[in-house]
Amino acid sequence: MKSTKCAIALGSNLGDSLATLKSAIATLNNTPGIAVKSHSSWYQTAPVGPPQPDYINACAILEVTLQPQQLLATLLEVEIKFNRIRREKWGPRTLDLDLLLYDDLILETPTLTLPHPRMAERAFVLVPLVEIAPDWVHPVTKSAIDQILKTADCSGVQKMKV
C-alpha cells in the first residue's frame, strides 16, 4: 500500500502537557497505518483565543497509509483518548492534533480542509514545522514553509529547554 507524507501540529495547555504530547506521539507511532518519521523540538507559545495558560506545541512528520479522512478520524480518536473535551472555540485543551499537510493535496470538505486553512498565519505551527520540513512547499501559496515563516510574528514562540 502506498504511503503518504503528512505534517501534523500538536498542542497542549492542560495537565502535564509535555508528558501528554510525548505520549500522543508514541500512540500515533503505534497506530496501524501511521509511522512517525520525525518531530520538532517543544515550544512554549502564547495562547490564541480566550485567556488561558501558555501552550506547548510541536509538529511531526508522519508516513501514513490512511486516506485523509481516515487520518483525521484517527487524530480525533487520539485526542479523545487523552481526554480532549471541546467546550469553546480556541479554548484550553489537554491535546490538540491538527492535520496540516497531506503531501501536496488540496482538499475542501465539510469536515476537512487541506492544507490547514490557518497554518500560514500561525507562528506556533510554522516555527516547529520549519525545523523539520523547511522545504515543504505549501500547495496553495506555492511557497516553502521557511519562506512563509519569514512573514509571521514569532514573538510568542519560545523553544523549550527540555
* Tens of each residue's pLDDT in the chain, 162 residues: 799 999 999 999 999 999 999 999 999 999 999 999 999 999 999 988 778 899 999 999 999 999 999 999 999 999 999 987 666 666 688 999 999 999 999 999 999 999 999 999 999 999 999 999 999 999 999 999 999 999 999 999 999 987
Predicted pLDDT of residue 118 = 93
Predicted pLDDT of residue 86 = 65
Predicted pLDDT of residue 102 = 98
Half-sphere exposure of 41 (CA within 13 A, CB side): 12
Write down the number of H helices and E strands in the chain: 4, 8
Distance, in Å, from the CA atom of 84 to the CA atom of 132, rounded to the nearest integer, reads 26
Predicted pLDDT of residue 42 = 98
Catalytic site residue from 16, 54, 84, 153 = 84
Catalytic site residue from 16, 54, 86, 93 = 93
Predicted pLDDT of residue 87 = 65
Query: Is domain 4-159 annotated with CATH 3.30.70.560?
Result: yes
Predicted pLDDT of residue 83 = 84
User: Is residue 93 annotated as a catalytic residue, yes or no?
Assistant: yes
DSSP 123: H
Predicted pLDDT of residue 51 = 84
Catalytic site residue from 54, 87, 98, 103 = 98
Phi-psi region of 106 (alpha: psi -120 to 50; beta: other; left: phi over 0): beta
User: Is residue 87 annotated as a catalytic residue, yes or no?
Assistant: no
Residues facing 5 on adjacent strands: 63
User: Is residue 98 annotated as a catalytic residue, yes or no?
Assistant: yes
User: Is residue 118 annotated as a catalytic residue, yes or no?
Assistant: no
Q: Which three cell numbers stand for residue 3?
A: 504511503
Predicted pLDDT of residue 48 = 80
